[in-house]
């Protein structure tokens, strides 16, 4: 039963107690906001959310129903922080943008950095994108429209246009004076990018180093010339890899001619790492990232397409079983034991597949060590196959008092476990080689292979040795 708030003065909003040193939203807070909105207590709802961090407010908005989130945004009015928008799921964001007046929407997006502004519109459908773009000033609209021309999931869509650029001829003092007087600088930055007369980056100076260096010192004497630049068309997964591999805080983005056009910062990369991990996890399960917030019809459609594929693979496995229909009729024990072989192979294949997909995504698995990886997984499969062959063989023997059945299922178990280990490594590696995301299709193929091989090996051996 939900705990009711304590009695309070009508003019004093009640704020739920939260644990000290805790982060994120408490269930009490969510319940309290929901109750206040349903009761029409705008003062209470406003007081509950006004001091929340923009990320926490975004989580709160997502946790509310469609009507309540609309009430909350309208209630906040001018107090609604535009920084909340980039944190929202795209499905929730689309609903919310429909409730914001064009002028307010334009004002909100204009307050965001260019990368955050693009985050707001990137995943919207075309009609919603057009509505947002039409509400902006020509200069703001031009920047976002140009970003939309870059390839999906590329560095060009990820970068921030506001970047601190200084000539290599400047001193530290001139740079500090520029930073103090500059009006179009980003709100937060970590590195100063040093450029030549053609606007090509030649090095960078960490902001902390510039602050600790005496004013007369030339920038070229303290800059780091060994700098990783990001091409506009680089995939965001590659960008995340570069940041992780070299411990970067920020990196300049350059066009084909080498001219600096933007910067990517680590906060964006953290978001990308989270997004890519979520995407791969969802793909392995055959669902989309927005399943949690999409309506019933959209969610049903997205899952149905994946289930159709799985139905097809299940039919293939059933066709293999139908080939041995007579064998199963003569020996009912086979029908009881069949799922064991297929299930063990499927689980073993999924274990190997998970390791392989992660290794490919993290670039830990390459042509240089692929042979060693496959060999190791094959050896693991053989050992596990022999171990579980003994266990299942003994169980089947005791269960049906038939040593021959135990021997057949033991042999089938070894065969299927070995095939599971091979398919769990070779299938994702093969898909990656031909340019197909292994997180999307690997599980279907691995499951099909282990089911078909498991049924065929078990029933085939039974037909040869038991009948």
- The pLDDT of residue 289 is 53
Domain that holds residue 329: 296-465
- Residues 90, 218, single domain; the answer is no
Looking at 264, 285, 306, which one is the last position of a domain? Answer: 285
Specify if 417 maps to a domain. Answer: yes
Looking at the fold, whether 348 and 380 belong to one and the same domain comes out as: yes
Averaged in consecutive runs of 10 residues, what is the pLDDT profile of the chain (467 residues)? 44 45 73 90 89 89 86 85 85 79 78 85 82 85 89 91 92 94 83 95 94 94 93 92 91 94 91 74 59 62 66 78 79 85 88 86 81 92 93 92 92 94 92 82 85 90 86
Q: How far apart are CA 51 and CA 57, in angstroms?
A: 9
pLDDT at 15: 47
**2 is a domain residue:** no
Looking at the DSSP assignment, which residues form a beta bridge with residue 160? Answer: 263
**Domain-terminating residue out of 223, 251, 285:** 285
Neighbours of 201 (CB within 10 A): 22
Three-class SS of 326-385: HHHHHCCHHHHHHHHHHHHHHHHHHHHHHHHHHHHHCCCCCCCCHHHHHHHHHHHHHHHH
Residue 15 domain-assigned?
A: no
CB 254 within 8 A of CB 201: yes
Residues 267 and 346 in one domain: no
Whether 272 and 352 map to the same domain: the answer is: no
pLDDT at 233: 93
Residue 278 token pair: 């979520």
Q: Are residues 304 and 431 in the same domain?
A: yes
* Helix residue ranges per DSSP H, 39-113: 42-49, 54-63, 66-76, 90-97, 102-110
pLDDT (0 to 100) of residue 376: 92
Residues 327, 403, single domain; the answer is yes
Query: Could you tell me the strand order of the sheet in which 250-254 lies?
Result: 230-231, 250-254, 260-265
| Neighbouring residues of 346: CB distance < 8 A, sequence distance ≥ 6 | 420, 446, 447, 450, 451, 454
39, 146: one domain? yes
Statement to judge: residues 77 and 129 lie in one domain? yes
* Residue in 133, 181, 139, 455 with CA at minimum distance from that of residue 324: 455
Residue-level pLDDT at 10: 45
- Domain membership of residue 34 (yes or no) is yes
Residue 448 in tokens = 């099909």
Query: Is residue 10 one of the residues assigned to a domain?
Result: no
Same domain, 174 and 127: no
Q: What is the pLDDT of residue 328?
A: 78
- Pairing status of strand 191-195 against strand 260-265: unpaired
């Amino acid at each position: 039963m939900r705990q009711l708030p304590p009695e309070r003065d009508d003019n004093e909003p009640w704020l739920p107690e939260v644990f000290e040193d805790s982060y994120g939203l408490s269930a009490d807070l969510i319940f309290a906001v929901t109750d206040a909105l349903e009761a029409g207590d705008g003062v209470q709802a406003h007081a509950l959310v006004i001091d929340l961090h923009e990320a926490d407010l975004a989580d709160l908005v997502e946790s509310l129903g469609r009507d309540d989130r609309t009430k909350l945004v309208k209630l906040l009015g001018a107090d609604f922080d535009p920084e909340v928008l980039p944190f929202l799921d795209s499905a929730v964001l689309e609903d919310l943008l429909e409730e914001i007046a064009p002028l307010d929407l334009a004002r909100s997006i204009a307050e965001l950095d260019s990368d955050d502004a693009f985050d707001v519109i990137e995943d919207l459908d075309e009609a919603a994108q057009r509505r947002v773009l039409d509400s902006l000033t020509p200069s703001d609209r031009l920047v976002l429209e140009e970003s939309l021309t870059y390839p999906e999931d590329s560095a060009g869509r990820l970068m921030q246009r506001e970047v601190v650029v200084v000539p290599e001829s400047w001193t530290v003092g001139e740079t500090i004076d520029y930073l103090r007087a500059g009006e179009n600088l980003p709100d937060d930055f970590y590195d100063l990018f040093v450029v030549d007369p053609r606007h090509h980056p030649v090095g960078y100076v960490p902001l902390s180093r510039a602050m600790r260096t005496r004013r007369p010192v030339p920038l070229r004497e303290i800059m780091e010339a060994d700098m990783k630049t990001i091409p506009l068309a680089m995939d965001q997964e590659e960008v995340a890899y570069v940041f992780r591999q070299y411990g970067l805080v920020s990196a300049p983005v350059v066009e084909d001619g080498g001219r600096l056009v933007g910067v990517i910062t680590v906060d964006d990369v953290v978001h990308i790492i989270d997004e890519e991990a979520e995407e791969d996890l969802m793909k392995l399960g055959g669902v989309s990232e927005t399943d949690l917030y999409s309506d019933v019809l959209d969610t049903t459609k997205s899952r149905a397409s994946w289930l159709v594929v799985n139905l097809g693979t299940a039919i293939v496995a059933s066709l293999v079983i139908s080939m041995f229909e007579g064998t199963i009729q003569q020996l009912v024990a086979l029908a009881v034991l069949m799922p064991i072989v297929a299930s063990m192979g499927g689980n073993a294949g999924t274990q190997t597949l998970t390791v392989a997909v992660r290794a490919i995504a993290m670039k830990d698995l390459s042509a240089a060590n692929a042979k060693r990886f496959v060999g190791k997984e094959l050896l693991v499969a053989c050992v596990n196959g022999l171990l579980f062959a003994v266990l299942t063989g003994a169980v089947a023997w005791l269960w049906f008092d038939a040593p021959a059945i135990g021997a057949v299922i033991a042999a089938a178990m070894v065969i299927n476990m070995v095939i599971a280990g091979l398919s769990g490594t070779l299938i994702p590696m093969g898909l990656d080689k031909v340019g197909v995301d292994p997180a999307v299709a690997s599980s279907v193929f691995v499951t099909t292979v282990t089911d078909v091989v498991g049924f065929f090996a078990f029933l085939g051996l039974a037909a040869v040795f038991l009948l």
